[in-house]
Each structure stands twice: as C-alpha cells, then as structure tokens.
Structure 1
Amino acid sequence: MSKNGIQVLANEALEAFERVETLAHEQLENTSQRDLSSSLAVLQSLTGNAALHNLESITDRKARDLLALMRTPSIARVAVEDSDGQTDIYYISRTTSIAVPGIKLASYRSDLGRLASLDVGDEEEFEIGNRRVWLRVLERLELRPYKDQHAWDSTPSVWYRESEVPVTIQSLRTATGPAANDGGFMAFLASGEADRNVVEGLTHQIRTAMALRDQAVLDKFQDEIFRLPLARQLIILGPPGTGKTTTLIKRLGQKLALESTADGEGRGESFSGRWVMFTPSELLKHYLKEAFGREGIAAPDDRIKTWSKRRHELARQVFGILKTTSGGTLILKEERQHLPSAVAQDPRDWFDQFRAFHQQRVAEALRQGMTTLQEVSPAHADQVVQRLAKLLPALDGGQLLGVYSELHDLEDVLAPLLEESRKKTDLWIDGEAGALFRQNKSVFNELATFLDSLNQPDEEEDEESEFDDDGGEEAVQRQSGNAAHEAFQVYRRFLQSYARSRFKGRRPGKASRAARILEWLGDRLPGDERLKELGEEMTLQNALRRFRNAWKRYVLDVPVSYRAFRRQCLSQGSFEYQRPESSAHVDTTELDAILLMMLRSARELMLQRFVQRRFDEAKFADLQRVAGLLQQQVLVDEATDFSVLQLACMEALTDLKTRSFFACGDFNQRVTGYGLRSRDQLEWISAKLEACSINTVYRQSRKLNGFAFELLTLMGGDLSAQAQLPEHSNHEGVPPVLAEQLRGQDVPSWLSARIKEIERTVKDMPSIAVLVPSEDQVKPVAEALNRQLETISMRAVACVDGQVLGDEGDIRVFDLQHIKGLEFEAVFFVGVDALAETKPEIFDRFVYVGATRAATYLGMVCEGSLPERLLPLRKLFVAKWG
C-alpha cells in the first residue's frame, strides 16, 4: 500500500469533487426555474441540516438535483477494464449526473451506477449510450464527501482492490500531504496523523447524531433488490442494521427518476406524488423524511403515514364507515378488543368467513328481490322479470361479478319501472305529510324534539329498508341542518319501511325506534288500507332497487354485512367475541377488516369490463374515489409490526397495473401482539408477494453482534436472520454492562458514570439513548439524569410520546416502544426486570430491539435482578467500561 499511490488517489478524487460542484453551481445559477430563489438560499448552508430541510422543500426537480450534486458530488470512484483491455475511471453520484469535461460521471440510479456496488473482480454487462459493453471492476473507492471552509474532503473513504485487504482512509485531505515549501516542518508535524489516517480493514464511524444511518452505496445484494422492476412485490427480511429501509428509499428514488425520464424532462412531477410509505411511529417518520432528503426526494407529510392515521382518513373521509354529523354508521373504540387475541394475531380464517358471509348476503338480497318481483311486479314488467330470472343460475354458482355485469346492461330497462312507482309513492307521502302540516304547522318541529328525546341511534333494524330509497342518487336529500326538515326525512323513511312491513304482515319490534315513532304518531298515522297500498308500491321499489347499481352494494354494504356477521357470531358463540357496548362500536381489528374488504371489493369491480368501459361516468364516482387513492409505489417500513390485515390494506392501495409493493422488517423485532408472525402469512396478503433475506449488518460491533445472537437464541427467535458482520470489519467494540439492585437516585448516578466513561474514550460525544419501559418514566428519568450530568455540561431530553427530538448532542430518554428503526452509538436500557413483569409474552423481543439499537455501547439496569429468562446472558456482561 503505497503512500504515494493513496496521495495521488486522494488528489484526483478531491479535484473531481471541486469540478463537479463548480459546474453544478454554474448550471443552477443559469437556470430560470421557479424555485431559483429558495435554491440559492441553500447555497449559504450546504453543510448543515438546514440545507437538508431546504432541499426537501424545493419542488423543482432540476434545482433539487443540482443542489444535491453540489452537496454530494460523488459517492464512489470505480476503476474498470473493458473487454479490449482498456481501463477507465467512473465517478458515481448519488442521485443525478451532469456532463463534466474530463470526468465520467454517472448517477447511482442508472445502469452504470451498479458499478459502485459490485465487488472488485466482478464482470458484468452495462448499457453505455446505445451500446452494451462488458466491464470488469479493478478497484473501488467509496466516498463520503464533506465540505468544510470551502475545501472538500471525504471522511472516511474505503478503498477496495483485488487480492488486497480493503483500507479505510479517514480523510482524503490528510492523505494529500502537507503543503509544499514548508521546509519539511509541516510534514514532521503531520507524520503522526498520517500514520493513523490509513487503516487496514473497515473501521467503525462513531455516530454523533440521532438519525437513520446514511448508506450512500448499497451492497451487491441490496443493489439487486432496489433495481428490480417497478411491477414487483417484495418484503426484505433481515436483522437490524442491514440497510433494509435504505434499500426501500433508494428504490423509490430510482423509480421516480425513471418515471420522470420516461415522461420527458419537466413532466415527471405528476408521478412524484403517487407513492406512500407506511411507518409504525411518528418519531421514525421524522427521520425517514431526512433520509428521503438525502436522496433528493421531496417527502411531504401526506406521503409518509402511520397506519392509524391513514386508517382513520380512509374510514371517515373516503368510505364513510365512521360516523360524522352527516353520515357513517360505526364508531371506532381503539381501547376495546372485541375479538380474542388469537384472532387478532392471525385473522385469516375469520376474515375469509366474513368475506364469504358478505358475498352470500349481497347475493341473497338479489335472490329475495327476484322472489318479490315475481309476486308484486305489474303485468307490463313480465319480460324484465323473465330476463332477471335467467341470472339466478349464475348467482347460485357464485358468479356474482358476472351477474353485476349483466345487471348493468339491464339498468336502462329497470329505470322506467322504478321511476313510475316512485312518483306514485312520493306523491302519496308528500300528501300525507302535507295534511299533517296543515293540521299543525309545528308537527315536524315537535317530531324533531321527540326524536332527540329518544336517545336512540338512527339505526334500522329492518335490513331490507336499505333498499327503500335511492341512496342519495336520484332522491333529493333535503337535509339542510333544519331540524324540522330532518324530522320530515325520518317521517318519510318510517312510512316507507312501516308500510312495506304492514303489506308483508309484519310489525316493528316493541323496543325499536320505529315502534316509538309509531306510538308517537298514534291516530295521525294513515289508515291500514292506505298503508298497504303504499306498502305494495314500496315492496316493488325495494325489489327493483336491488338490481339497480347492484355492484355498489358489493363495496358500500360491507359495514352493514359486518354487523350482521358479528350478530350471527355472537348468537352462535363463534370466534369468542366480546359483546360490544353498542352495535355501532368496532375495534381496530374489525375496522381494518372492513376497510380491507371494501378495498379488495372495489379493486375487483374496477377490473371488470363493464366498469372500465364507462369508468368516467358519474355513476362510478365511488369507484373513482377509490382509484384516486391507489399509488404507483407503496412501501412499508418495519412491516412486522403491522398486522396481516393492515399490510393487506396497504397492498390493496397499490396501482392496479403495477401493484408495486415493497416492505421490510424482521420477525425477531416484532413488538406488537398483532404483528406479522410468519412467512406463510405473506401469501394471504398477496400471492405475488415474495420474501428476500439480507443478513450483513453495518451497525454493531463484533461484541454486541455476538450478544444479540445469544439473546436471539435464548428467545427462540428466527436464527436464519442471524446477523453477519462485513468481511474485514475491525469494529471489535466493548462488552455490554449490567447493573442490578439499583433504585431511586442510584440509577441516574450509574448512568452518569457510564456516560462519562464513554466521553473519556471517544473524541466527540456520540449519540446516546436511554430507554425506559413505560411513558410515565420518561420525564422523571430525564430530570434525574440532567442533575447528574450538569458537571459535564450535558443535557438529557425527555422524548415524550416519541415526539420531542432534542438537539444534536442531547441524550434522549424514550419509552422503548418509540425507537424501532433508529440507531445510536450507545443505548442504556433501564428497568429490564420491570418490563419482564409488565410484558412477559414479548419482553425478550423488546430487549432484542433495544439491544440492537446500539452500535458500540450497551448498558442494562435492573431494579432487582436480571430476569430469569436472561440469566444465561449474565456471563457476557461486565460491570463498567473504565
């Protein structure tokens, strides 16, 4: 390893940084894009976090790309040899490239960008211009550009050469050597630093900030994954620190860039909003946004979602499931659990039975309609009835979607029959209401007051009543906030339903809302014969409406079907349901199931030809609204913390053509009782969903990686996900420390002592997290630790609910549940024994998650003794690092 060779290499790379930055700056100044002013503002702070956030806020793609190139001119330098023996040098940029005279610069997202991830000695075919060429990698230099005081450096860089141990160059600037004409004195001073500047193997870079690790270049296996075609579905499984999330983010960036290129320069932005990433916590969402910023991806809040928030939006604003002042039928009770844990953990059989029940129910509604039409339809409708009857065999054969297609073609015939009957009943009801009003001008105000006094939900016990009106399509809804008008609508619906019931010889239940209204009306009710006349017409309408826009029921009737399904299960004792306080109440698992059923049903319909042919028509507005939700790319971080139903909902939000769904997770890190549990659940989510494992970790020291493996073995985890350190890693680290029998002020005192040990060991204070087992301990522990740290001018910050981020250099105190996906140089786990008592089923998983957040330093504190299940690990701990 020649010092002169490293010096030449360093000088060349630093000169390339300068030239790329200069040209990108010139192009940015010459641009006339609309975001120029905000872009230039960033130039004053290119090396700080402010630049990162400004970059995220810039919506113009060209300005954003040029700024990203100025901030990171290159992430790799690769020497290659072609099939003719000619050698060349390629510099690879993170996201975009420009033509730089004398430098071959390629974007990592391009086909040539694969060079940055190949091993030395690999030979592959690449597309250069319109040619396919074979290139063999001779050497590779991974770069981490950094500009300080107008001078470029790369800190650190890793140089890979064939048949050589890779070397880590801590600073390229230092490797260039001292300035000339210094009489040799500067060389004398720099000699010691130079000796430490180049180290054999892969050295560990101490983490001084709380953020997702920046992995500019993926390894060869990650690179293959992120370049897979858009129309694929994959879940990446692997231990913490393997770059799973980074792979997802880089994949998104590459696909957005390809879409933009395919659509022509300047027109690709229409695609950039058609993606969403789901994450389990708001805290992780913040750091994901920073990671997106490094990749030049604008990531507004509505693109990175927690499922709980997206579920509420879908259920309330899109599908109208949850009650509002103007609609909806159900109320979400997040603190309740109506289903037993076994169903929440694996709801597949329960959901499949619900799906079959719903399909049977909507099919039965059509059968009943056919029977009724044969009884009450007028003679001139006989031909229509005969055509409908021919559909029964297909209905009995389970060909529901085919029946919907046939019914759609019959709607023009059904509409006149329905309109003729409805005019009669509207005239009849308006006449009865008018007579009441003339007798008493306040009658509907009085009815409104009475309805308020009932304190009963406006729920129809008679399920057939849903076919008594046109669902808001043709009927004029006169609800305007006027109580009397709304009372009249109740009166109208009551007469329709009651008259139909009387015609069929039925009466409302004694305790029902309808019975109370009937009692209030008393002798103001029309005579029995008049009611039966109305009832016959309403029965005809009820039957006809079952066939008009019948496909809508396949989607919109799902909430009603679920309530009927749950009633049946409760009466039969199926699935060990806990009876809800109200029939309108649902828990989160139930709401997820309803949403999934509606999404999947809507997707099925959108694929039918009768829908596709006339999709733009107003009648398909409900499906158009669902189509507007579908995303070009759906990504999921920490997928194993989501339930099977939730992941299936996310998959159902993918574009119908691409169905692009990429997720990542680790079964060993699942810390929710309902999370994804095994690979066999993946096929139920989607038959196209594949699983891929990656095992090389870039976070932990050798000692902590060994500790994590012992813990994984002890908890009976998935050992196929055992973490492997990169070859030539020299991050040995230190053993974890353990303190037992610590209470009260002894805990912050012990933590302070260990933190001081870390500070004496490292040059800059690294990122440190203190994990506690419950939210109510976050503030007290932070306050007590603060008093201990005053003497070394450090600050502990209470990250309440995972929302408070603190400043760089702060020690963060978290409830354990908020730290999935994050990493720190040092992690202290307080109250391990308390966690074992409060969460005995999954406490070891929490310990695994907490332990794998740490890169080098791990400490555990017990108020009593180490939990019995962890006793075999005692031999791996030491008392202190000093």
Structure 2
Amino acid sequence: MDTVEKRLADIASNSLNCIETVAADAEEAKRTKKRSGAASLATVHILNRPQPANSIGSISDAEMDVLAALIKQPVIARVQFIDENDEEDTIFITRTTPRSIPGFKIASYRSPLGRIASLAAGDESTFRYGSTKRELLIDSSARLKPQREQGQWDARDTEIDVRDLGRFTVGSLRELLEPSTGIELGDLDALWDDDGDGNIVEGVRRAILTQMGLRDQPILDRHQDEIFRMPIDSRCFLSGPPGTGKTTTLIRRLGQKTDRQALEDSGEEMRRIRQVEEETNRPHESSWILFSPTELLRQYVKEAFNKEGLAASDEHIRTWDEFRRELAREELGLLRTSAGTGPFVERRTQDYLKPEVLDEAQWYDAFREYVDVSVANELRADADHLAKSDAPDLSKIGRLLQEAFKKPGRSFYAHTIRSVTGLIPEIREAISSRTEAINRILTRARNALTHADNNFPDLLRQEISQQLSANPQDLDEVDELEAALEDEEEQPVAPQAGRSVSRQQALVRFERALKSLAKARRARRRVSEKSQDGLLLEWLGPDRIPADSEISELGELLVEQSRLKRFERLERLFLRGIPTRYKRFRSEMAKAERWYEETPAKASDIHWQELDLVILATLQIANELLSNYRSRAELELPAVGPLASIRYIQRAQVLVDEATDFSRVQLACLNELAHPSIGSLFLCGDINQRLTSWGLKSNEALDWIGEKIERKFITVSYRQSQRLVDLAKQIAAIGGSQADDIILPDRLDAEGLPPVWRANLSDNTSVAEWLTERIHEIDRMVGKATTIAVLVNEEEQVEPLALELNDRLEEINLSAVACKDGKVVGNDRDVRVFNIQHIKGLEFEAVFFVDLDRTVSKHPDLFSKYLYVGATRAATYLGVTFTGQVPEQILPLLHHFGEEWPS
C-alpha cells in the first residue's frame, strides 16, 4: 500500500470508528431517555409564571432533536492538527450539539472551535482548545457524509485534504478499508480502466445533483464561515454570484444563533436574548422569521432548515405577500374584516399609480413627511384652540400644552408623549364633563322621538337595514379618524348588510348621525349625502332632528371633546390615524399630479404597493414610541393596544433570502420587525438576479433601509462549470451590471460543457422534440437520473409543453410534469416545467430556457435579469430555444453556445 493510500486508510478507519461510536451512543441514549416536562416538577405555578414548564419541555425536545440528528448524521468532519509544541491531535465535528464520547474529542460546528473544519490543510489559526489558546496547524481534514447501508456505516464522496499530499475524493470509506475481491460480470470493464482504483480520485469531484432543492453544505468555506460567526446583533447584506452559498450561510448562521449552548460563552448576548424573550413572550429558539420572495423557494428553504435541525414551521418562513396581508389585517388593523372594521380593502390591481412610484423610497419619504408635518400642525392647532377657549379648564390645559410644544425634542412622537403625560388626569376630567353633557343632549333627542312614536326604534332598524342592503357606504373621513381613537372594546359592533340590525346598533347609528351633523354645521360644511350618516339624516328629515341651538351646543361639545381625546390618546392618534392621513395624502398628490394619475374609485381601496407605505410608517412610529418606554425604567411596556401588537410580532432575528426581489420599503418594514435590543437583520441576494422592477438596484440603496448594514461579498461558486460562469458574466454585462469576479473551487470537472441553443422552434411540438434529444444526451452522459428544469415565460405554457414532452420521454422511462404556479409535483427523476418567475434560489443539473426571444420582447428592461437567473440555475447543462430568429440583444452571447452535446 503506497503512502497516499495508507494515509487515507488511516483517516477512513478512524472516521468510521467515530461515526459508528457516536451513532450507537445516540441510539442508546434515545432508547433509555425519558421525556421530562412539567410533571417532573414538585409544584408548577403555571398561571403565575409559565416559563419554567415550557423551558423544561423545550430542553427535553431539544435533547431529543440532537439525538435524532446524531443518529442520522453522527459527524460531518475530521480534522487532524499539530500545535505549537509539535503535538498531534484529532477532533471530530458534529452538525449540532455533540455528546461526550470516551476516546474521541468532539465539538459542534456551531462552537468557536468548530471553525477549524472550514480551514484547509496547511492553514494555521489560533483557537481556544482546552483551557488555553493554542496555535494550530491543520495537517489533514476530511469532510464526511455518513450514511448507513445494510446495517453498516459508510461515508460517500468524502473530500480529504492532506498537507503535502494534496486533495482527494474517496467514493466509499468502507470500500477503501474492505476492498471488494470478487468481480461481478458488470465490473469486467473496470479491469481495463486506466485510472486504476476508481474509489480514490485525485482532486475534488463534484456530485451530480440527483434531487431538486438547496444544496446541503454542512461545512462552510473560510469566507462563509467568517460571516456565519458574526455576532448575533449584526446587520448584514451578503451578496455574491449564484451558487456561492449565500442561502446556505444564512441557514447555518441561524442554526448557530438559536443554539443556546453555542451562545453561552457570550454573557452580553445572552442578557439581550433574555430581554427580548421577556418583552415578546417568545422563546429565543423560535424568535426568528425568514422571508422568501416565492412560495416554491419558501418550501425548499423550509426543507433545508429541517436538515439543519431547526424546527421551521410555516410561521417562521414566510413570503412577504401573505405576511403583509396577515400583519395589516390581524395586527395593525389596516385591512377590513367581516366585522366591518379596518379602513382599507386591498385590491390586486390598480390603474392610478404613476410609474414614478417605482422610486418607492422618495414616494415613502414624501408620505412620511406629510404625516409628520400634519400631525404636528394639527396638535399645535388643537392646543392653540384650547388655550383660547372661554372654558377655564380648557384654557388652562391649552396653555400647558402650548408650553410643551415649545420645547424642542429629538423625536417628535416620543417627545410629545413625554410632554403630555403629566396633563392626562386633567384632560380626562375635562373629557368626562363634556361626555356627560353630550349624552344628555342625545338622550333628550331620542326620548323626544320615542315619546312621539313608540315604533321609532323598529322603524330606525328597518331603515338602516334597507340602506345597508341597497348601498353600503364608508364612514366619512372625519368619523373614521374619530373611530380610530377609540379602543377596540369601546367600539360597538357595526351593523352588516344582510344581517339583523339590533336596537342598540340602530341607536349608535342614530347618535352618530346627529354628531356628524353637529360637527359639520360647526365647520360650516355639509354631511355627504352619499355617506352612511347623510343617508340616515335625509330619512330623519328636519322634523326629527333637534333644534338648531341643541345641534350647535352639541357641535361645540364634540369639538372640545375631540381635541381633548387627541391628547389623551396620542399613541392611538399617531398609529391609527395613519390610514386617514394616507387617504388625504393620496388625494392631495393626485390633484398635484404627483405619484398618482387619480384617486381610486373608492377611498377605501388600496394596492399592495401603497399598503407597504402605510405599514412602514406604522412600524417606524410605533418603534419610536416603544423606544420611549424602553428608555424609561419607570414605564412598563404596553400589554394591550396597537403598541402591544407590534411589540409581540418583533423577533430577535429577521432574515431575508433573495433580498434583491424586495423593494426598499418592504425591506425597511422587515428591518422594523427586528427587536432593537438585538437588531439582527441578515439579508442575502444578488443584484444581477433581481426579477422585479421595484427590487434593489444597487448596494447603495441599502443605506436608505437602515443604519450600519454591513456589506459582505463572497465569490467562490460551488454550482456552475467554468463555461457557464463565463456566460453568466457576459449576460450580467449586457444588463449593465458589473461582472464581478467569480472564483471556482479547485475541482476536477471545472470546465464543463458549452451551453446549446436552437432557433425557429415556433411551437410546442418542435420544442419538445429538441428538448427530448438533449435530455437523451444528458441521460447518456450522466448515467443516472438527475435534476432537469424547463423554464417558460407564461403560466399558460407550463401544462401544454409538459404534455408534449412527457409523450416523448416515455421511451427512456422519464416523465415530464407541469409545476403550475410554482408548485412542486412528481419526483426528483421527473423533468419539471416551470414558469421562470418561480425558480429563484434553486439549482438543477440541467436547465432549458424556452422562447428566449419572447422574454426579450415581453421584458425589454429586465430580460437580461431573467436570462441571468435562468442560466445560473444550471450546474452543468444549459439549453436555450427561440421561437424565431435570435434577437439582436442576444447575438453577443452566441459564441458561448454549441448546437448539441456529444453523444
């Protein structure tokens, strides 16, 4: 046995011994382990403090998860090193928390010592090993992929790096130690193989992709590892070309940052983690959320998280579209529900936004300035009106408020809250006296009508029911803002069309109509005849409305009460008043012909791009108010109300995959969801892969989203061959982007094959025939089933092309399946047909981009992005078809292409 084979055999023997021992120990521990939980405590005061019971259960669940992970994948790396005293030692690395095993030194990859697995043979670095820091030289490293076959442990395609000997790929460690002596009939040709023992290959061999999804990479390279280990409170945008492991780094980082054992060495980090847990009532292990731009990628990211041992539910991994709707409807009260509450109805389409809204940062800045200025002006005007009042209690309060607004504050919203807090008792007393006077007037009005006609309550109910059925109307803007100041429990249930109207609901509507009339007369305006209140007032007529003197007095009292309530309920005014201010902003900007062509047919209609603006303003102002509570020890954080809702949705860590497909406003919203005590925001993406007109267009755009977002860049691509990398660089240049350097790892099959193309394939039949020929070539070259994707421009193309292709692939026992709306069907052997918009972030061994000339005509500004994304999904094989001739824009790329692959 030569030196190389002996050295590799020693590594193989030691590795398999450790794999078997760790797996057997974990199996025995799982078999004997009893489920601990609340029952193990003598007394549990769940109502007073539920955390101990939950904590014990969580620890037990975590331990069982660790054991399951060790049984499935005992170790992932073996590293042999030499210290400064020339003493040799070996350490094994596990994916998650290891158990103590006699005879072996084992560490978690998530621990500081785990960084050793990312180094190459010959590298030197300082580690805390034992009780001291030591300079270690890596003598050899092995990246292991353990798997159990027929009751025996083996490791397949192990990458071994030995100092002074080189790098090798070993197909089977078991085969290296126990070489097969018999020769089966099918192996006779191996005797003529010039490469000798095919189990050991000099160099690194890339594995063929046999299943669709995200590549599992348990050990990161040195550059990825540095980013993975950044402190938990880091705010980072990780960019890099396709296949460089951005998503993998994100996933591995979250695994470490939710592992308490990996974080225990950092006392400050643990202190802040416990603070966030206390404020959000959410365990740190689940205090994270990741956003994906597509449902398909969301599913595969979720699967990758599960491989990492992270419990990733649908609540943890979200798309912004569905999260936005839930957030706006359930937490922020922005979207209307079946109960009739909520100021907006989200519409999927719109025809009134100008193209300039694609500069959404300027659009939002204009809206936010409008909100801030209007709130400040209105409050100062209210204070001035109160100060000029003839009522002594109001004038006193008004003068004190004027003084409060004279003092400059760094943050208007928090400063205003602090300034007014001391006046709240006097304000509430003044409100109470006016509420009593208002109620007396309204009671006299209803008593007069019921005295004249005992059937009036039922007549009123009938009329309101008819009005609702005939033409349900929105509230007046003034009434909407007034309603926003009321607590949810104070707001009566509004009557709904088609449902019985109660006497109490009818009475509330009657009193509200009189209030609207009184306020309108005082403001010298009319109540809209088409509004809910206007319709009811018209039915009542002048004979059933109180005398002018009563209405005048009621209007005065209501205005005084309203101004006082604004100061009593500033937090609600600031947050719940944003929708009304947006409607005003939209109306004024439309008149000025800025941002909007016109206003929508209904003031309550809102498009998702607009809803993003309203959500961001709400989150930013709420966080400013919450920071006021956190900065003052004497204050307790709100437990109910709008601020409490936002407090509870915040997470210790917020992560975004393919961040360049999110707008700056959307990313700023996600930034606000990161709890400020930790503020962990981790974005990853590639500017060249942006498929949306509103997505990130430059690294500089990040400066608007938030402060101190670090830029990190990785360049080693583990996906593509050199030929496909060269093509991707030129595609990026055509799109006007900087073609960043892409470094390929040192592996045997780096050059790859040229992509292929064919023009004038004008129908599904000719496209399917050409695709079938190419798939036959791939099948012959690879020798086993691999992952193949066919990308089309329109959802309507998916199923017809899949049917045509499926008929032809039956000859080689393959199937083509239609993945409509990005949903995955079939199995990993199938050829899958997708609309290209769904496949961001995924990788396949082979990709075919159909009808590229149609992409150019449909997306003249974005076609290079679509082509870049499509081309960079392929690891080795890429094919492109054109309906007609090759467009002029694509001609510079044709020298990269051939017409077929070798048979």
Same fold at TM > 0.5 = yes
Question: Equivalents in 1 of 2:257, 2:390: separation in Å?
Answer: 57
How far has the Cα of 1:680 moved from its partner? 1.5
Which deviates more from structure 2 when the two are superposed, residues 667-676 or residues 114-123?
A: 114-123
Which amino acid in structure 1 is aligned with residue 18 of structure 2?
A
Question: Equivalents in 2 of 1:461, 1:142: separation in Å?
Answer: 65
Which amino acid in structure 1 is aligned with residue 509 of structure 2?
V
Question: Equivalents in 1 of 2:837, 2:154: separation in Å?
Answer: 38
Question: Equivalents in 2 of 1:187, 1:846: separation in Å?
Answer: 45
Question: Equivalents in 2 of 1:738, 1:58: separation in Å?
Answer: 56
How far has the Cα of 1:312 moved from its partner? 0.2
Question: Equivalents in 1 of 2:10, 2:582: separation in Å?
Answer: 71
Q: 1:22 pairs with 21, 24, 39, which one?
A: 24
Q: 1:339 pairs with 353, 365, 368, which one?
A: 353
Q: 2:753 pairs with 722, 728, 734, which one?
A: 734
Which deviates more from structure 2 when the two are superposed, residues 478-487 or residues 145-154?
A: 478-487
Q: Paired residue for 1:350?
A: 363
Q: 1:386 pairs with 381, 395, 399, which one?
A: 399
Q: Deviations over 1:33-59 (max 9, x none)?
A: 269xxxxxxxxxxxxxxxxxxxxx999
Which deviates more from structure 2 when the two are superposed, residues 596-605 or residues 425-434?
A: 425-434
Q: 2:202 pairs with 196, 200, 215, which one?
A: 200
Q: Does structure 1 residue 858 correspond to structure 2 residue 878?
A: yes
Q: Deviations over 1:152-175 (max 9, x none)?
A: 222211121234432222222222
Which amino acid in structure 2 is aligned with residue 282 of structure 1?
E
What SS does the aligned partner of 2:422 have?
helix
Q: Does structure 1 residue 696 correspond to structure 2 residue 716?
A: yes
* Preserved contact between residue 487 and residue 641 of structure 2 (Cα < 8 Å): no
Q: Paired residue for 2:461?
A: 445
Q: What pairs up with 1:162-173 in 2 under 5 angstroms?
A: 162-173=163-174
Which amino acid in structure 2 is aligned with residue 313 of structure 1?
E
Q: Deviations over 1:728-764 (max 9, x none)?
A: 4533221111111123312111111111111111121
What SS does the aligned partner of 2:878 have?
strand
Q: What pairs up with 1:502-581 in 2 under 5 angstroms?
A: 502-509=521-528, 513-522=532-541, 523-581=543-601
Which amino acid in structure 2 is aligned with residue 627 of structure 1?
R
Q: Paired residue for 1:235?
A: 237
Which deviates more from structure 2 when the two are superposed, residues 385-394 or residues 693-702?
A: 385-394
Which deviates more from structure 2 when the two are superposed, residues 859-868 or residues 602-611?
A: 602-611
Q: What pairs up with 1:86-97 in 2 under 5 angstroms?
A: 86-97=87-98
* Preserved contact between residue 519 and residue 555 of structure 2 (Cα < 8 Å): yes
Q: Does structure 1 residue 361 correspond to structure 2 residue 342?
A: no
How far has the Cα of 1:9 moved from its partner? 1.9
Q: How has the CA–CA distance of structure 1 residues 377 and 281 changed in structure 2, closer, same or farther, with 3 Å as cutoff?
A: farther
How far has the Cα of 1:866 moved from its partner? 1.9
Q: Deviations over 1:17-43 (max 9, x none)?
A: 1111111111111111269xxxxxxxx
Which deviates more from structure 2 when the two are superposed, residues 426-435 or residues 22-31?
A: 426-435
Q: How has the CA–CA distance of structure 1 residues 505 and 786 changed in structure 2, closer, same or farther, with 3 Å as cutoff?
A: closer
Q: How has the CA–CA distance of structure 1 residues 692 and 260 changed in structure 2, closer, same or farther, with 3 Å as cutoff?
A: closer
What SS does the aligned partner of 1:155 have?
strand
Q: Paired residue for 1:471?
A: 486
Q: How has the CA–CA distance of structure 1 residues 504 and 762 changed in structure 2, closer, same or farther, with 3 Å as cutoff?
A: closer
Q: How has the CA–CA distance of structure 1 residues 852 and 187 changed in structure 2, closer, same or farther, with 3 Å as cutoff?
A: closer
Q: Paired residue for 2:302?
A: 289
* Preserved contact between residue 758 and residue 765 of structure 1 (Cα < 8 Å): no
* Preserved contact between residue 359 and residue 554 of structure 1 (Cα < 8 Å): no
How far has the Cα of 1:686 moved from its partner? 0.6
Which amino acid in structure 2 is aligned with residue 169 of structure 1?
V
Question: Equivalents in 2 of 1:19, 1:398: separation in Å?
Answer: 61
Q: Which runs of 5+ in 2 are unaligned?
A: 38-57, 265-269
* Preserved contact between residue 708 and residue 848 of structure 1 (Cα < 8 Å): yes
| TM-score (ref. length: structure 1) | 0.92
Q: 1:455 pairs with 466, 471, 474, which one?
A: 471
Question: Equivalents in 2 of 1:123, 1:430: separation in Å?
Answer: 86
How far has the Cα of 1:270 moved from its partner? 2.1
**Alignment identity in percent?**
36
Which amino acid in structure 2 is aligned with residue 325 of structure 1?
S
What SS does the aligned partner of 1:195 have?
coil
Q: 2:702 pairs with 676, 682, 692, which one?
A: 682
* Preserved contact between residue 413 and residue 624 of structure 2 (Cα < 8 Å): no
How far has the Cα of 1:612 moved from its partner? 5.3
What SS does the aligned partner of 2:785 have?
coil
How far has the Cα of 1:494 moved from its partner? 2.1
Question: Equivalents in 1 of 2:718, 2:14: separation in Å?
Answer: 28
Q: What pairs up with 1:15-164 in 2 under 5 angstroms?
A: 15-33=17-35, 60-164=61-165
Q: Deviations over 1:652-677 (max 9, x none)?
A: 10012101000100000001111111
Question: Equivalents in 1 of 2:696, 2:832: separation in Å?
Answer: 29
* Preserved contact between residue 376 and residue 539 of structure 1 (Cα < 8 Å): no
The Cα RMSD (Å) is 2.8
Question: Equivalents in 2 of 1:689, 1:637: separation in Å?
Answer: 16
Q: How has the CA–CA distance of structure 1 residues 553 and 718 changed in structure 2, closer, same or farther, with 3 Å as cutoff?
A: farther
* Preserved contact between residue 75 and residue 92 of structure 1 (Cα < 8 Å): yes
Q: Paired residue for 1:710?
A: 730
What SS does the aligned partner of 2:201 have?
strand
Q: Paired residue for 1:658?
A: 678
Q: 1:224 pairs with 223, 226, 229, which one?
A: 226
What SS does the aligned partner of 1:170 have?
strand
How far has the Cα of 1:609 moved from its partner? 3.9
Question: Equivalents in 1 of 2:670, 2:490: separation in Å?
Answer: 35
Q: 2:291 pairs with 274, 278, 290, which one?
A: 278
How far has the Cα of 1:820 moved from its partner? 0.5
Which deviates more from structure 2 when the two are superposed, residues 610-619 or residues 68-77?
A: 610-619
Q: How has the CA–CA distance of structure 1 residues 650 and 470 changed in structure 2, closer, same or farther, with 3 Å as cutoff?
A: closer
Which amino acid in structure 2 is aligned with residue 878 of structure 1?
G
Question: Equivalents in 1 of 2:376, 2:183: separation in Å?
Answer: 94
Q: Does structure 1 residue 796 correspond to structure 2 residue 816?
A: yes
* Preserved contact between residue 652 and residue 674 of structure 2 (Cα < 8 Å): yes
Question: Equivalents in 1 of 2:484, 2:608: separation in Å?
Answer: 31
How far has the Cα of 1:619 moved from its partner? 7.7
Q: Does structure 1 residue 411 correspond to structure 2 residue 431?
A: no
Q: Which runs of 5+ in 1 are unaligned?
A: 36-56
| TM-score (ref. length: structure 2) | 0.90
Question: Equivalents in 2 of 1:185, 1:8: separation in Å?
Answer: 31
Question: Equivalents in 2 of 1:488, 1:736: separation in Å?
Answer: 75
Q: Paired residue for 2:52?
A: none
Q: How has the CA–CA distance of structure 1 residues 356 and 455 changed in structure 2, closer, same or farther, with 3 Å as cutoff?
A: same
Q: Deviations over 1:114-156 (max 9, x none)?
A: 0000132222222234432222212211111122111222221
Question: Equivalents in 2 of 1:201, 1:514: separation in Å?
Answer: 80
* Preserved contact between residue 448 and residue 486 of structure 1 (Cα < 8 Å): no
* Preserved contact between residue 257 and residue 263 of structure 2 (Cα < 8 Å): no
Question: Equivalents in 1 of 2:183, 2:777: separation in Å?
Answer: 41
Which deviates more from structure 2 when the two are superposed, residues 187-196 or residues 734-743?
A: 187-196
* Preserved contact between residue 461 and residue 512 of structure 1 (Cα < 8 Å): no
Which amino acid in structure 2 is aligned with residue 62 of structure 1?
E
* Preserved contact between residue 278 and residue 305 of structure 1 (Cα < 8 Å): yes
* Preserved contact between residue 109 and residue 115 of structure 2 (Cα < 8 Å): yes
How far has the Cα of 1:804 moved from its partner? 2.9
What SS does the aligned partner of 1:675 have?
coil
Which amino acid in structure 2 is aligned with residue 734 of structure 1?
L
Question: Equivalents in 2 of 1:184, 1:545: separation in Å?
Answer: 89
Which deviates more from structure 2 when the two are superposed, residues 554-563 or residues 496-505?
A: 496-505
Q: 1:748 pairs with 759, 764, 768, which one?
A: 768
Q: Paired residue for 1:43?
A: none
How far has the Cα of 1:190 moved from its partner? 8.2
Q: Does structure 1 residue 483 correspond to structure 2 residue 501?
A: yes
Q: 1:329 pairs with 340, 343, 360, which one?
A: 343
Alignment size in residue pairs: 855
Which amino acid in structure 2 is aligned with residue 457 of structure 1?
Q
Which amino acid in structure 2 is aligned with residue 407 of structure 1?
V
* Preserved contact between residue 383 and residue 399 of structure 2 (Cα < 8 Å): no
Which amino acid in structure 2 is aligned with residue 203 of structure 1?
R
Q: How has the CA–CA distance of structure 1 residues 214 and 58 changed in structure 2, closer, same or farther, with 3 Å as cutoff?
A: farther
How far has the Cα of 1:337 moved from its partner? 5.2
